Amino acid sequence: METKRTNKKILVDGLKKMAISLGLMFLGPSLIHIAFTNTEKPLYIPLLILGIVVCGLAVFFAFKGLKTIMDSMFNN
C-alpha cells in the first residue's frame, strides 16, 4: 500500500499565495491609515476605496492559499 505524500509543486503555489496575502495584509491597513490622516486632501476617497479593496484581496488570497495548501496535503 502506497502512502500519500504532499505534492510539493502545489504546496509551493499555496505558500506563494500566502506570501502575497501577507504583503497585502500590511499594505491595506497602511493605505486606510494614510487616507484617514489626510481627510482634507482630494485623494481621500480613492485612497480609502483602494485600501478597502486591498484588505479584501488579502482575505481572498489567505483563503485561497490555505485551500491550496490543504489540497496539496490531502488530495493526493
Q: What is the pTM of this model?
A: 0.86
What CA–CA distance (Å, rounded) separates 67 from 33?
A: 30
pLDDT tens by residue, 46-58? 999 999 999 999 9
DSSP letter at 41 equals: S
pLDDT tens by residue, 57-67? 999 999 999 99
Q: Stretch 8-31: mean pLDDT, rounded?
A: 96
